[in-house]
Structure 1
């Protein structure tokens, strides 16, 4: 396996890990206004996300950094062709980050409502935009030989792109409901479990719809038909979908969340593997696509990056494991009394 292919695989894995790790707190923020009954429950939900959300976004920075360093031409075209949705994504994430820090600074219902709204928008919009963006990448973006987009934001809001956006919102909301169930007790815990149960059949239906649309409207299945062994990715996704329901009904919430993580990760990898060796397929002409061959950095750059990644990625993984273990206990009313609590 050459260095370009290695980095393509790592590129896909990093995006999948980001969706898994940031997905649960984006999901919690997306349904917070509809599930929380009072300020105390909102604070529990904030503290269920609080120790993790900023560390989770390290994976977004890493995935973007890898795109920039390993595939600079892809990065340039992506951030030009998808400029509007990516800027909306950036501003939404900024609002979300600020909401965590500012919400408790003033003891006023109006002030808290303002930042609760920012947290909701900063959670829902990224989930939707990421789904729309990646669905369009899977389908192919109308870029020419110069990397210029033939269209605008409305071009990206096609049926397949919107289906991807809805799918990501549901995947993240279901993932977040399970995490909240794991991190809460009492009535809030029960309602979080019930929410996950209500979302599961809708999510399963949209997954089937998205796969059908992928078969009819994209070339994602080409690599799978050529190399049937790759269907193990889809089988893992199906297993994750079934097991997350089974474990939730059995009361094994953490195991259900783990199965949901498998579902999200394999869903992302399904698309990434389907477009290989392209990173940014062109729907105008396959010759205009940005691939490993025409957009990767020099072999020396890729080799140096691989050495750096082998050193520092395990450090990030160790940090996240430590964080998850340290803050694995459910958030209770007593935890809200700490000065450090949100």
Structure 2
């Protein structure tokens, strides 16, 4: 394996980790208005499931973008210039979501919390839909000219395949979040999360199957039939495990689906990193878009030394905060006496 191939695979792994972990974060935020209806205590249960981990999950995106910039600067430049408005919208949504999560409990006022909840919802829905749309466009190809510059308009990015990609990640992350809430909550919130997950299973499986089949037939390679099969196996596993109340296996099923979908996209893209829809001669590949071999070798040693430490620390965080959360464990907001009604 060349250093260019190694870094392409590593970036794929980083985005896979981001979508697997941040995916259920987005799903929790997307479902918060539904599963948190009725009382602030329910909304706090939903939000507290991701409270200790959401910021760590976002590190995967920062690392993936940094690795893309250092290993494939041409890819980074063309992608971020061509998708400038979309990625700016994602960035603003993520900032809105972060601020809403951090500041929600700072003021004991129902209207303030309602505004923050709205920010969490918007900041979760936009990235959940946008990431599928962006990566579907990357696999399909964009108008790159001979200078490796984006030569189209934003309307070139709204084809049916790209839009289906956005719907796919939106539904998949919502289901992923519902399964996570089934695993992490108890009582009435868990019951409602299970009901929501069962409602989402059939439409999500249908859309995932359609998008995966389109990707495989139009852009896939021989070996990418394997992740496509896993994309179909994941929802089936989640459904079967949910029936017998094996919450951990149900959540694993959606994790497998997210990972397999990302592997299918990156596998269909290789050896390109950003194909040109104008002329294949203008494609950005792992070779013509990469940094020098020396740069990649130095980065490889750094990745080998640092990555295990990060994985061990994040795994420890999930282990420490592994227990379920219920409404009964949520204290009254500061300034209200115990037993007060919590709106």
Say yes or no: TM over 0.5. Answer: yes
The equivalent residue for 2:228 is 234
What runs of 5+ residues in structure 1 fail to find an aligned partner? none
The equivalent residue for 1:131 is 132
Q: CA deviation at 1:266?
A: 0.8
Q: CA deviation at 1:334?
A: 4.9
Contact 1:81 1:147 in 2 (8 A): no
Structure 1, 28-37 or 207-216: larger mean CA deviation? 207-216
SS of the residue aligned with 2:150? coil
Q: CA deviation at 1:302?
A: 0.7
Contact 2:208 2:231 in 1 (8 A): no
The equivalent residue for 2:300 is 306
The equivalent residue for 1:48 is 49
The equivalent residue for 1:178 is 179
The equivalent residue for 1:257 is 251
| In structure 2, C-alpha distance between the alignment counterparts of 1:248 and 1:144, rounded to whole Å | 49
Contact 1:27 1:174 in 2 (8 A): yes
Report Cα offsets for 1:312-338 as digits up to 9, x if no partner.
Answer: 111111111111110000112354339
| In structure 1, C-alpha distance between the alignment counterparts of 2:159 and 2:28, rounded to whole Å | 27
What pairs with 1:61-140 in structure 2 (closer than 5 Å)?
A: 61-140=62-141
CA RMSD of superposed structures (Å): 1.6
| In structure 1, C-alpha distance between the alignment counterparts of 2:305 and 2:253, rounded to whole Å | 28
What runs of 5+ residues in structure 2 fail to find an aligned partner? 335-343
The equivalent residue for 2:25 is 25
SS of the residue aligned with 1:143? coil
SS of the residue aligned with 1:104? coil
| In structure 2, C-alpha distance between the alignment counterparts of 1:327 and 1:339, rounded to whole Å | 22
Q: CA deviation at 1:149?
A: 2.2
Report Cα offsets for 1:131-186 as digits up to 9, x if no partner.
Answer: 11001111111121223323333321221111000100111000100111111111
Q: CA deviation at 1:237?
A: 2.3
SS of the residue aligned with 2:287? helix
Structure 1, 80-89 or 136-145: larger mean CA deviation? 136-145
Structure 1, 324-333 or 170-179: larger mean CA deviation? 324-333
Structure 1, 205-214 or 324-333: larger mean CA deviation? 205-214
Tell me the matched-pair count: 333
Structure 1, 235-244 or 110-119: larger mean CA deviation? 235-244
The equivalent residue for 1:296 is 290
Q: TM-score, normalised by structure 1?
A: 0.94
Q: Does 1:187 align with 2:182?
A: no
The structure with the greater share of residues assigned to helix is: 1
| Structure 1 residues 334 and 34: CA distance shift in structure 2, 3 A | closer
SS of the residue aligned with 2:277? coil
Report Cα offsets for 1:252-299 as digits up to 9, x if no partner.
Answer: 111111121111011011010111101111111111111111011111
| In structure 2, C-alpha distance between the alignment counterparts of 1:152 and 1:45, rounded to whole Å | 40
Q: Does 1:322 align with 2:316?
A: yes
| In structure 2, C-alpha distance between the alignment counterparts of 1:233 and 1:212, rounded to whole Å | 11
SS of the residue aligned with 1:279? strand
| In structure 2, C-alpha distance between the alignment counterparts of 1:13 and 1:338, rounded to whole Å | 41
The equivalent residue for 1:59 is 60
Contact 1:16 1:268 in 2 (8 A): yes
| In structure 2, C-alpha distance between the alignment counterparts of 1:34 and 1:208, rounded to whole Å | 26
Q: TM-score, normalised by structure 2?
A: 0.93
